[in-house]
Every structure is written in C-alpha cells, then in structure tokens.
Structure 1
C-alpha cells in the first residue's frame, strides 16, 4: 500500500489529476447528455449497479486518459497556436497578441504615471499623450482601487514573454512561452535543452511543486479538449439524425462556452507553473554548473556567456569554437586517489 501511495504522490498523481480525472468528467457528461448511446446509465455509475458495464467504462476512461497524456504535446501545440494552424492565421494571431501586449504595456505606464502624479511628481509632459489617448485616458485618472487595477494589469502583462520575437499566437501559448524563455532572458541559460539536467539537480520538493503546478494546467487542457470533442460529436450525431431535438445542439453550445472558460482557467493556472519553473532555474542553475564541472562566474554578464557556451556545445558539438568558449569556465579537476576494489 505504501508503494502505491508513493507512486500516486509521484508521477502517477499528476497523471491521475491531469488526464484521467478530466477524462472521467467528460465521459460522465456524455453519459448524462446522451444516455441512449452510453453503455451504462448515470445512475449505474453513481450506484455501482451493472458492475460489468461500470468496469468497462472505468477501463475505457483509464485508457483514454493515458492516450490523451501520450498526445499531450500535440494538444498543447494546437492550443498554443502551432499545430494545425495555417501560417497566415499564425501571423495574424501573433500580431494580435503583440498589439494586446503593447496595449497592456501602455496601460501599466499610464497607471504608474498617474501614481507618480498623485505623489506630487512633475510628470505632466509624460502623461499628456496617455491622457489624450482614447483607450488609455481612463487609466490616467487615479481613484479608489487604482493600486488593485495596477496589479491586475501588471499580472496580465507578466503572462507574455519579455522578447516580442518570442510571442506565440495565443494567450495560452504566450503564458507558457514566458516560463520557457525565463532562464534565457535572465541568465542566457537555455532551459529547454537543459531541462532534464535541471530536474536532476533540483530539490525533490522543487520537482514535486513543478509537477503539481503542471498537473493543474494539464487538467484544464484535457477538460477543454474533451469538451470540444464532445461538442463536435453532438453536432455530428444531430446532423446524422442519431440524436433528435434541440438538446444536442444546446449541449454543444454549452460545452463550447465551458471550454472557453476552461481555457482562461488554464492560462491563469500557468502562473503557478511559471513560479515553480522560475524557482528551479533561480536555485538550480548553481547546482547545475557544479554538476557540469563549471565555476559560477562572479558577474551576471560572465554567467550569461558561460550558459551560452554550454548551449552552443549541446546544440552543435561539431562547432570547433564551442569547446574553447567553455574551457574558460571549467573547474580544475581534482585528483582522486585510486581505491583498490573491495575483496
């Protein structure tokens, strides 16, 4: 029993919460909304009657959850705006996200200038363009709750990567992209190609927090993906005449609305995931350098050069200059006395 508990608290728990539980919810929704097509009724699921059918449904849920977990990269990339998105649509969506990021940046600047003006600072020249702007003028008037508004705008802006070149076509894509480029923009550390190494040197508590935070995002991604599939299924069944009446179409619309809500919840859930990854990078990079036989430089500029050299060596080992750039940061090997084998 203790081994099972340890397994659930490890990777199995993330799989259960992130993929199997939302799959069970989606299957339950299908059974409740289309009882004529379900192999078991909702009452049987709740009461445990018709054991054979319940076991079959539960087994199907487990298999479906495992399959969705196996194709999670594809699901994420669709929601991030990459897979199945035509190039023109990707470009249009990126421009839209860039415009939204710039608007949030201007709103935050207007709010901070309004705060400075309220403190008696001379910002009349700087705040004038914002005050004359149709969409920004309201943010230059400091009133009750202005500090809360400033915090909310700053929170939305933090869900975008620092570098505009890293922008993704969707809100979820940008929310995930900011945690992927955090180590690179701050330290020059490519956490994408060194992620396995970072996980190996990170504390167990840090790894658990990262897995739990990722499971929260997985939950909403799986739930909304299932809702969309169910909505398409209900529309197809109604169009083919298998399900009659307005019920299937109402259910499809409701599922799409719920999927939109779960999408926003997934975007917000990435905040916790970002914090966990950020802590692994901030605290784990020193251990990573030591484990790789490197001396942590005194200056941040030199540290960036070190991690850039590591990234070049990992990405292109055939680069004749890659090893030379890294030699300056390597720690001198300590001679270890030879130990005879134990008899």
Structure 2
C-alpha cells in the first residue's frame, strides 16, 4: 500500500473511532467557534466575520497544525471525564446542589405518577383508543422510570438509564449492574455491535449537550456589543444543547433495550463459562442468579455449589480412529 493510501486509511480509522466521534469532533467544533469569535472581534467591540477569515488565511501551515494538535490534546485530557459528564446529566449531583436535586426528583415523580394513572385507567369495556393510550403509557412508564422501590433521580436521563439497569435481567434474578462486566465479554458479535453503537450514541449526545451548553456560556462575553444576530448565538447553542439532551434520552432508552436483549440471549453463556450446571426451570434459575448477585455484590460465600466441567478435546492429541463398520453378511 502506498504512503498516501496508508495515510488516508489512518485518517479514516481515526475519524471513525469512538474517541474521534465522542471526544475530538465536539471539542474541535467548540474551539473552532470560540476561536472564530475571538478572531472576528473588531477594535470597536463589533463582530466582523471577514476579519476572522482574513486572520485564518494569514495563518501558516505550522500554526494550523498546532491548533489541530491543541484541540487533540484538549480532547485527550477531557476524554476521561466522559463518565462523570454522563453521571452529571443523570442527576448524580454534589451535596451543594441537593435543593435542585430535590426539585428535579419531585418533577420526575409527578411525571411518573401521571403515566401510572394513565396506565391504570382501565374500565370494564375500554374503547380501542383508550386501550391503546393505556398500553402506550404503560410501555413508556416501564422504559422511562425504574420500578418501585428503586428511588428516582432528578433527571429524565438518569431515570431512563436506571430503568434499563433495573429491568434488564430482573426477571431472571440477575442484577444488571453487577452482572454486566461479566456478561459483556460473552456477547455475540452482532449483539455487541448493537450495544456498542447505542452506547456510543448515548455518550456522543451527552458530550454534545455539555459541550454546546459550555460553549454558549463562554461565548456570552464574546458576543456582547455585537450587532445583527450575533448576540443571539448563545441562545442557539443552548437550543442545540436541549436537542442533544433529547437525543441522549432516546439513546438511553435504546441502550436499555440492548441490555435486556443481552440478558435474554446470553445469560446462560455466563453460567456455562462459570462451569455451573444450567438450571432446570425458571425458579431454580432465579435462585441461582440471586446467589451469584449476592456473591459478586456483597461477597456472600457460595456454599454447596456444584460445578460441571466439560471434557474438552486435547488439540495436540491425534484424532480418534472411527470403529470399523461391521461386515455385511453375504448370500448363503
């Protein structure tokens, strides 16, 4: 492969990677917007886009590479903060924000109660339209809010993710949070691709939400005193953050469905990998899975647990010789 082809392949792989999608591209877009605003500021306080374009044309190739590397470095530094950013949007807020957390939890509780009342409004002979509305409310309630007594979080995103964690595997006695690190490596290739894709969608939408909101706040002092539509650009970014949050909520619902599918299809693969006998019925399965959950989560010892070791063939041993077929009796 020639050098240009190798370079093109490397660039394609980088831009298609999770790091580029979730971390680099949103960071680069935010820095590009803020840098353009800084370059467009005129001495009198106005904003002149032509001024930014002229400064961009005046940059050397080394300066452009340096800016790209600076954006890459910032994206690398921010990448470990992806999980805390998601938890922030879920509603895991620090102690000083407890008042806001209580208000958010109250709002979420009222929304859940409205859905619950709609789902339970069944008459003796409900009309088709009413039945469809009831079924839709019940379906949305199960996907968007965790079942009692699981506590609610102050955001819709947090409750949707908590509902997926509480629902996946619960019918089989498995705790999704505890089981997932052990179950994920055993997923099939196609299902793992679905899970990874939906997780990437969730992380990207969360990163866009935070990046757009932070960029809007940072751009406020840069657009003050500008003419035209420039002073309204922070509001546009806040609207984009709102849209990205709705996208994160939809991605969370899809991710919860993928978790449930993983437990439905591969929970027995984990028992086989642990060399445990497969349960004979649903009751035995729930009892075994609850014991495993308590062991992994709380360290409760597993006593009187029998293992089932399969006899795997030795790859270095010669293949077995099939028995000779019995001779057929000839005519007498």
Give the TM-score band, short-chain normalised: 0.7 to 0.9
Contact persistence 2:39–2:55 (CA under 8 A): no
Deviation readout 1:150-209 (Å, 9 max, x if unpaired): 565445322212234242211010111122222353222122233221111111222221
Contact persistence 1:213–1:273 (CA under 8 A): yes
What residue is the counterpart of 1:323 in the other structure? 302
Q: Which runs of 5+ in 2 are unaligned?
A: 42-48, 318-332
Which residue of 101, 104, 120 maps to 1:90? 101
What residue is the counterpart of 1:289 in the other structure? 271
Deviation at 1:316, TM superposition (A): 3.3
Question: Is the aligned partner of 1:244 residue 2:225?
Answer: yes
Which residue of 102, 116, 119 maps to 2:113? 102
Contact persistence 1:235–1:248 (CA under 8 A): no
TM-score after normalising by structure 1: 0.74
Partner of 1:106, secondary structure, is helix
Alignment coverage as a number of residue pairs? 302
Distance in 1 (CA, whole Å) between partners of 2:92 and 2:255 is 21
Which residue of 278, 284, 287 maps to 2:260? 278
Partner of 1:244, secondary structure, is coil
Question: Is the aligned partner of 1:199 residue 2:184?
Answer: yes
Contact persistence 2:146–2:162 (CA under 8 A): yes
What residue is the counterpart of 1:225 in the other structure? 210
Contact persistence 2:169–2:260 (CA under 8 A): no
Contact persistence 1:78–1:84 (CA under 8 A): no
Question: Is the aligned partner of 1:21 residue 2:25?
Answer: yes
CA, structure 1 residues 25+293, in 2 after alignment: closer, same or farther (shift >3 Å)?
same
CA, structure 1 residues 206+43, in 2 after alignment: closer, same or farther (shift >3 Å)?
farther
TM-score after normalising by structure 2: 0.76
Mapping of 1:107-256 within 5 angstroms? 107-110=118-121, 113=123, 116-118=125-127, 142=129, 147=132, 153-157=137-141, 158-237=143-222, 244-245=225-226, 249-256=231-238
Contact persistence 1:33–1:251 (CA under 8 A): no
Q: CA RMSD in A?
A: 3.7
Deviation readout 1:241-291 (Å, 9 max, x if unpaired): xx5336665222222222112111110122222222221111111100110
